[in-house]
A and B are shown apart, each in its own frame.
Chain A
Amino acid sequence: MTIDVAPRTLDPLARTQQEEEIIAACPLQAGPVHTTLRDLALSVEWSDLRVLELASTGWAIILGHKRRHEPLRAVLPLPLHTTALRPSSLRAIFQALEALSDDDIPHALPDFAPSVEELQERAQRGKQVSQTDGTRNVGLPDPTDGEENTPPAHGPEVINKSLDRDMIYVAIVTTDSTVVYYKLTKGIKKPADIPDE
């Protein structure tokens, strides 16, 4: 059987301007940034993700909320085979995090996919339509149409806007999209003192 039909090449999760700039500035981390960002957003389900280059370090990091009431946490994506992350680089990264001000933190990227709550609301609306008039119109006007590029409202919850400057995650990415995360904290800490566990 001869295959002459070009496959779907458009990535449904197209890169934003913010991402493109970072990928151009940090070529070593380009692929890992792309993979880690999507893994955090859609698999691990972090929120309010943003990617930025740390000033005068040449390293790109991803900031986001694991839980919205917790501070922003930094993730450093890396390819599997690299010796570039030396102790001096780590020191520079932590120093740059200390110096990072709120103004330097970019806006959150738009969500890659609707949240589960939004999907449930849509499903509920669809059921209500079918119950009222006996038909289902998938193409009903969505009240949120035109707002897909804005960060969705997650409800009246307290968002912690502070940044955890003492801990970073290192995300090691392989070519088959496996991401392994390690937590790096300054100094010696007992497991009980490390948050999230």
Chain B
Amino acid sequence: MSGPTQTSSEGPSGPSYRGGSSSKPSNRSRFQANNKKYGTPLPILLPSSPLHPAYQAPSRDTVGSRSSFISTFLSVFEAPVKVEVPQCVGVFDPLTRSVWITDPKDMAILFNRGFFGKGTFSRSEPTWKSRRLDQVRGGQSAAAEKLREKRRLERKQFKIDRAEAMLSAAKAAEQVLVTGQMPSEHGPDEVAEGSNGDAGNGEEGNLSGRAASPALTTGTDVDLSTLTPQTFLVRPTRPDANRNRGKNAFKRRPKPVTSVNGTTVEAGPSNAMPSSSLPRSGVSDQEAPSVQPAVVVVPDDYEQDLSEDDFEESIVEDLEHLQLGLEEAWFLSSGIGVLKIYDTKTQSFIPRESVLALLQTSPVSRVPKTPTAPPRLFPDDPFLISYACYHHFRSLGWVVKPGIKFSADWLLYRKGPVFSHAAFSLVIVPVYASSEDRRKSPYAGQDWFQERMSWKWISTVMRVNSLVQKNVIMIYVTVPSVASFDASLKFGDGSLDPKKVDMKALLRHYAIQEVSLSRFSPARRR
């Protein structure tokens, strides 16, 4: 994912190399650093992977030489290097219906090798502690949350500037119409034009951000018939961060700059960035102090004594964990076998065949519950329907992440959130193979998927996703009928026993069909 580069103390070894040092690394080096860190998906770690402990980078001097041939020949007789498959541990939390990963090493493995899970206090990658440390040190980190907040402030300022530009243009036009004369020169921000009739062409600010030429002197008579609505309008361009719009940001008022210990620091919010969409509290962009009052200002060169860094790290406790959704947990556990899930109720690890019973959805059900009733599984369990879609696209190599922020079920990334934005939004629509199952389903009447049958809802989703340039894909998941399952897997009432159902055998019954939606506008597409 490309973002605005900014000064950062974090190099390629830091959490997702988004920014650069003052020497501004190229996109290629940033991509290579990210590829090294995130480019080895689970489960297998081959010896040729840079992350493998036995990895040896090929030496330039020996490549193609006689000694490289000899070493390759000799390597055949060496003991084979084992392929590594990590084993991570998670804790099932029944309250939040999720699996928590608390060990930092496991958190790094799961997120860096497939972008599984989300930091509980972060936007994506768990960076809460590093952001907190950065706040304590008074620095400016390149965490994703900070970049997002910076972009939002730029867009907000752009909108304010645009509104002011339009207002001043309207006032100038009104003044001209009332007085019949050009307004006085106010500076490069405002447009005024001579009376030569070329007012309609050059004065509208264009996407290159070029300001119009300054006005003629006060009192010049103007031929009103030559004026156009665009005469006085200077249209500001969008900030650099908006990749599809203008290239040069239009700044009416440069950001206030303060000097801290002799170093110029751009004013901006210095509080931690929220993981959610709620505007953060604390400092607003209008206040924007660059220095916290009455506290120690940390020098801006980041060359601190190592012991001081350790001390500060020791006083900031890491309260964040990596949280896996249920689909991710089952995929990691039963799909590729890299996760073991611990149940706090039984104080033991859950056997892989019993994980499904823990993760299935509890309906507000018609199924009578007795204290000894075993869990019952239905093919239209919303968890299974969602999982079928998740498993399908993960198996095809996509990185699949929740899509709640875009009114979708899942988002598809080609390589991961670090590399690019999601290209596709998935919306799941279950289709029952048996109408009788639908009638009897304990999930019938609940708002799992019912509203998705309306075009009004689909139009809403399309609208949201078109603004963020994602393609909407409808995923029709065919829910198998209960009768299609073997009798040995079922209870007497026809429901499935989740402890007997194998993931592979279960998923074989589901069918997935993708339908891409795009809006067709007959007037525009002619």
Chain A residues engaging chain B, CB cutoff 8 angstroms: 1, 3, 5-9, 12-13, 23, 30-31, 34-35, 38-40, 42-47, 65-67, 80-83, 112-113, 116-117, 119-124, 126-127, 130, 136, 138, 169, 171-172, 174-181, 196-197
- B132 within 8 A of partner (CB): yes
Residues of B within 8 A of A45 (CB): 271-272, 274, 280-282
Whether the Cβ atoms of A43 and B97 lie closer than 8 Å is no
Sample 10 A-B pairs with CB under 8 A, ordered by A number.
A45-B274, A113-B317, A116-B271, A116-B292, A119-B316, A126-B311, A130-B308, A175-B323, A175-B325, A197-B279
| In the bound complex, CA of A122 to CA of B98 (Å) | 35
Q: Are A116 and B132 in contact (CB under 8 A)?
A: yes
Q: Please determine whether A123 and B136 come into contact, CB atoms closer than 8 angstroms.
A: yes
Q: When the two chains form their complex, are residues B347 and A178 in contact, meaning their CB atoms are under 8 A apart? A: no
> Interface SS of chain B: helix, strand, loop or mixed?
loop
Nearest A residue (CB) for B448:
A81
Q: B340: CB under 8 A from chain A?
A: yes
Q: What is the CB-to-nearest-CB distance from A8 to chain B, in angstroms, rounded to a whole number? A: 5
Bits for B291-324, please: 1 = Cβ < 8 Å to A, else 0: 0100110000000000110011011110110011
Q: Name B residues whose Cβ lies closer than 8 Å to a Cβ of A.
A: 87, 89-91, 95-98, 102-103, 117-122, 128, 132, 135-136, 138, 271-272, 274-282, 292, 295-296, 307-308, 311-312, 314-317, 319-320, 323-326, 328, 340, 342, 344, 347, 349, 382, 402, 404-405, 446-448
List, in ascending order, chain A residues with CB within 8 A of B97's CB. Answer: 31, 175
Known A-B contacts A42-B121, A176-B324, A177-B118; A119 and B311 likewise in contact (beta carbons under 8 Å): no
6 shortest A-B CB distances, which residue pairs? Answer: A83-B447, A181-B278, A179-B276, A43-B121, A176-B325, A31-B96
Contact assessment for A42 and B402 in the assembled complex, using a CB-CB cutoff below 8 Å: no
Cα(A42)–Cα(B344), bound, Å: 25
Known: A38-B120, A179-B276. A127 touches B282 (CB 8 A): no
Closest chain A residue to B361, Cβ basis: A81
Q: For residue A83, which residue of chain B has the nearest CB?
A: B447
Report yes or no: A44 in contact with B274, Cβ–Cβ below 8 A.
yes
In the complex, are the beta carbons of A9 and B342 less than 8 A apart? yes
CA A65 to CA B328, docked complex, whole Å: 35
Residues of A contacting B402 in the complex (Cβ-Cβ under 8 angstroms): 174, 176, 178
A120 in contact with B295 (CB, 8 Å):
yes
Q: A35-B96, A43-B274 are in contact. Are A176 and B340 (CB under 8 A)?
A: no
Give the complex CA separation of A169 and B274 in angstroms: 15
- Using CB atoms, name the residue of chain B closest to A42: B121
Q: Which of A44, A120, A138, A176 contacts B323 (CB 8 A)?
A: A176
Docked-complex contact A176 and B328, CB < 8 angstroms: yes
Give min CB distance, A25 to chain B, whole Å: 14
Once A34-B96, A83-B446, A120-B295 are accepted as A-B contacts, the answer to whether A13 and B315 lie under 8 Å apart by CB is no
Bound-state Cα–Cα, A179 to B342, Å? 25
| Residue in B closest to A121 when the chains form the complex, CB atoms | B295
Contact check, B136 vs A112: say whether CB atoms are below 8 A apart.
no
Q: In the complex, A136 Cα to B316 Cα: how many Å?
A: 16
A34-B95, A177-B118, A179-B278 known, 19 other contacts, Cβ within 8 Å: A7-B90, A12-B319, A13-B319, A38-B121, A39-B120, A39-B274, A39-B275, A43-B121, A123-B296, A127-B308, A174-B325, A175-B97, A175-B98, A176-B98, A177-B96, A177-B119, A178-B275, A181-B277, A181-B278
Whether A23 lies near B95 (C-beta < 8 A) is yes
Q: Is the CB of B276 within 8 A of A116?
A: no
Closest to A136 in B: B311
Docked Cα-Cα span, A135 to B381, in Å, equals 61
Docked pose: A171 CA to B405 CA in angstroms: 12
Pick from B87, B117, B136: contact of A176, CB under 8 Å: B117
* Shortest Cβ distance from residue A77 to the other chain B in the assembled complex, whole angstroms: 11
Q: Give the Cβ gap from A36 to chain B, nearest Cβ, in Å.
A: 9
- Could you tell me the distance between the alpha carbons of A176 and B404 in the complex, rounded to whole angstroms? 11
Distance A114 CA – B50 CA, assembled complex (angstroms): 39
B307 contacts across to A, CB distance below 8 A: 130, 136
Contacts of B121 in A (CB 8 A): 38-39, 42-43
A3 to B524, CA, bound (A): 61
Task: Indicate whether A175 sits within 8 Å of B96 (C-beta atoms), given known contacts A43-B272, A181-B277.
Answer: yes
B281 touches A47 (CB 8 A): yes
List the B side residues contacting A44 at CB < 8 Å. 274-276, 278, 280-281
Residues in B neighbouring A39, C-beta threshold 8 A: 120-121, 274-276
Quick check: A172 and B281 within 8 Å, CB to CB?
no
> Which residue from A13, A80, A123, A176 sits with its C-beta under 8 Å from B118?
A176
B342 and A6 contacting across the interface, CB-CB below 8 Å: yes
Which residues on A sit within 8 Å (CB–CB) of B132? 116, 119
Shortest distance from the beta carbon of A122 to any chain B beta carbon, whole Å: 5
